[in-house]
Amino acid sequence: MSAGTERAVTWADVNKDVERTVSMPGNTYFAWMCVVALTLAAGVVAWTFQIYTGMGAAGKRTPQMWAMYITTFVFWIGIGHAGTLISAVLYLFRAKWRTSIYRGAEAMTVFAVMTAGLFPLIHAGRMWFAYWLTPYPNQRYLWPNFKSPLVWDVFAISTYLTISVVFFIVGLVPDVAALRDRSTGIKRKIFAVIAMGWEGSDTQWKHYRRGYGLLAALATPLVLSVHSVVSFDFAMALVPGWHSTLFAPFFVDGAIFSGFAMVLVLILPMRYYFNWYPYITDKHLDAMAKLTLVTSLVLTYFYACEVFTAWYSGDHFERASVFAKATKQYAWAYWTMYFCNSVVPLILFWKKARTNVVILYIVSILVLIGMWFERFNIIVPGLGHDFYPYTWGTYVPTITDSTIIVGSFAWFFILFLGFIRVMPSLSIVEVKEVLPHPLKHAVHGAHQGGGH
């Protein structure tokens, strides 16, 4: 019973407040869209150029045969996790405060995974054969190597994308139905299609609720498995600093951490522009900030573990690798990571900071930067100083790969910005659910708030 205490919000208000967002946007919006679209175009051009000239266009080399693409791939996959966590895990825990943010978070998940999914393609030396990683019947009886972590990725990520999309759409149906009933013309027709003739009859609700719960139950282990599998790309390899049993939990935690930062980065402006203060209150921000803080602390613990095990193992390669990361050519990236991920979030111990929009926003941005560098530090310096001194080397980014990376952010935002103006980015049903149910006789007050 958290939301809607500031001003008495009725169920009808909820519908109105959401309907407002699904209408012809103003110029600022289009201005932003142009910027994003141009950036995306630049990225596309860069990718085309890379396909034409070869992977040499990106700064990869021996020993860094992987670099910023895989870094950003892991980054985006990580972002996705917070969405699923909020929509599925917190749903199972019946955490009421999730209701007003989960739709945005879920959209973020879907689009983040869609962005991440581009990178294996961008990264492949012969992307036109990337489909060979999927098991499809062919007359030559060629199959992928199911022992390869990359094939695990294919399965994990495609499953994750499918389930997220399904979960997302299922959640949308009743809300779209609500929009349908209050719109006219072409808009109504489109909504009608998506709403699939939803009426909110008891039978529909019954199966819907059951199904939704089961999906949440499935999505929860899935979200944990996906980033574990992504971490196997590294943990299964021999490279010092990669070959570690720590990686699965380490990656999952990092993912949630960065995900929450991204949610804040997206939700705060939405709250401002859509005037959703009644729905997204300080309590929400506080809760999110707390989770960010916790995940940050856990992450710091993992960082410590990483260094400790390297030292304690007594393994020369591991020690040299860590030492090189901290002191050699990439030291700046290493310490940036520590500052952004372990130091900055500590400010959230301070209650005022947890509800101060400006501070929260800055922290979130820094966390995103820090988390990108975390993956960078695993991959680039890790490979740059591995077993064989002859080939130690420094990776230098090129205009091409940098442009593609920036383009991937544009791709994400074009999807997200598009979504929030055509679909209910606030869950009408679930917000209503946690509002006081309309009652004639106050004696039933005990029953307020459907979900417990």
Partner 1 sequence: MSGIDRRSFFRIVAASGAATAAAGCGQTAEKLYPYVSPPENIVPGVAAHFATVCRECPVGCGVVAKNRDGRVVKLEGNPDHPVNAGALCIAGHSALQGVYHPDRFRGAMVDGKFAPWESAEKIVADKLGALVKARQGGRIAVVTGLETGTVAKLMDEWVKALGARPRIAYEPLALEAMRAANRATFGRDAIAHYAIEEASYLVSFGADFLETWLSPVGHAAAFAKMHALSAGKAGTFVHVEPRLSMTAANADRWVRNAPGTEAPLALAMLKVIVDEGLVAPGVDARALAGAVQGVDVAAVATQSGVPAETIKGVAHDLAASKSGLVLGGGAAVSGGNATDMLQAINLLNVAIGALGKRMRFGGDVARPSSYADMVALTQAMAKGEIEVLILGDVNPVYTMPPKAGFYEALAKVPMVVSLANRPSETTGKAHVILPALHWLESWGDHVAEAGVVGLMQPAMGPVEIAGKPVDGRSLGGIFLNLARLALGLTAEPGKGLFQTPTFADVVKAEWGAMAKDYGKGKPVAEFWEESLRRGGVWREAPGPAVSVRPEGLRVKAEAARLEGDGTHALLVYPSSRFYDGRFADRAWLQEAPDTMTQIAWDGWAELPTETAKRLGVGRGDLVTLVSPHGRVDLPAYPVDSLHPAAVAVAMGQGHAYPGTYAQSRGFNTGANPVTLLGPGPEAASGALPYLAVKVAVAKGTGRRSLAIPQATFDQDHREIAQHIGLGAARELELRGKPPEHASHPSMYPPVKYPDHRWGMTVDLDRCTGCQACVVACVTENNVPVVGREQVAYGRDQHWLRLERWEEGTPARPRNIFLPMFCQHCGVAPCEPVCPVYAAYHTREGLNGQVYNRCVGTRYCGNNCPYHVRRFNWFYYDWPSPLDLQLNPDVTVRQLGVMEKCTMCLQRIIEGKDRARDAGRKIKDGDIRTACQQTCPTQAITFGDLKDDGAQASKLSRSPRSYHVLEELGTRPAVTYLKKVTRDEGNPAGGGHKA
Partner 2 sequence: MAAAASVLGIFAHVDTTLQAIRDLRAKGYGDLTVYTPVPVEEIEEEIEHIRPHSKVRLFTVIGGVTGAATGFFLTIWSSLKWDLITGGKASVSIPPFVIIGFELTILFGGLATVLAVLLLGRLPKLRPSPTYDPRFTLDRFGVAVACPPDRAQAVSALLSAAGAEEVRR
The footprint of partner 1 (CB under 8 A) covers 53-56, 60-63, 65-66, 120, 123-127, 129-130, 132-133, 142-145, 147-151, 154, 233, 236-239, 316-317, 320, 383, 386-393, 396
Q: Is 272 in the site for partner 2 (CB under 8 A)?
A: no
Nearest approach, Cβ of residue 158 and partner 2 (Å) = 8
According to CB under 8 A, which one of 107, 113, 219, 268 is a site residue for partner 2? 219
- Quickly tell me which residue has 């489109």 as its tokens: 190
- Quickly tell me which residue has 């030492």 as its tokens: 323
Nearest approach, Cβ of residue 151 and partner 2 (Å) = 8
Count of CA atoms in the C-beta half-sphere (13 A) of 439: 13
What are the Cα distances from residue 280, in Å, to 96, 116, 148, 395? 12, 28, 44, 43
**Rounded to whole angstroms, how far apart are CA atoms 41 and 443?**
61
**Rounded to whole angstroms, how far apart are CA atoms 83 and 104?**
8
Q: Is 18 in the site for partner 2 (CB under 8 A)?
A: no
**Rounded to whole angstroms, how far apart are CA atoms 339 and 300?**
10
Q: Is 7 in the site for partner 2 (CB under 8 A)?
A: no
Site string for partner 2, 392-421 (x = CB under 8 A): ------------------------------
According to CB under 8 A, which one of 162, 275, 313, 391 is a site residue for partner 2? 162
- Rounded to the nearest 10°, the torsion over CA 95, 98, 99, 102 is -140
Residue 267 binding target from partner 1, partner 2, none, CB below 5 to 8 Å by type: none
Q: How many residues bind partner 2 (CB under 8 A)?
A: 70
**Rounded to whole angstroms, how far apart are CA atoms 386 and 234?**
13
Nearer to partner 1 (CB atom), residue 160 or residue 317: 317
Q: Is 20 in the site for partner 2 (CB under 8 A)?
A: no
Nearer to partner 1 (CB atom), residue 125 or residue 451: 125
Residue 323 binding target from partner 2, partner 1, none, CB below 5 to 8 Å by type: none
According to CB under 8 A, which one of 235, 270, 337, 429 is a site residue for partner 2? 429
**Rounded to whole angstroms, how far apart are CA atoms 312 and 318?**
10
Nearer to partner 2 (CB atom), residue 352 or residue 452: 452
Q: Is 439 in the site for partner 2 (CB under 8 A)?
A: yes
Q: Which residues contact 331 (CB under 8 A, 6 or more apart)?
A: 325
Buried b (16+ CB within 10 A) or exposed e, 232-259: bbbbbbebbbbebeebbbbbbbbbbbbb
Q: Is 163 in the site for partner 2 (CB under 8 A)?
A: yes
Nearer to partner 2 (CB atom), residue 211 or residue 269: 211
What are the Cα distances from residue 206, in Å, to 23, 193, 212, 213? 32, 21, 10, 11
Residue 47 binding target from partner 1, partner 2, none, CB below 5 to 8 Å by type: none
Residue from 103, 410, 85 nearest 219 by CA: 85
Binding residues (CB under 8 A) for partner 2: these are: 10-12, 15, 135, 141-147, 151-152, 155-156, 158-159, 162-163, 166-167, 170, 173-174, 177-178, 180-182, 196-212, 214-215, 218-219, 221-222, 225, 229, 232, 429-430, 432-433, 437-441, 444, 447, 450-452
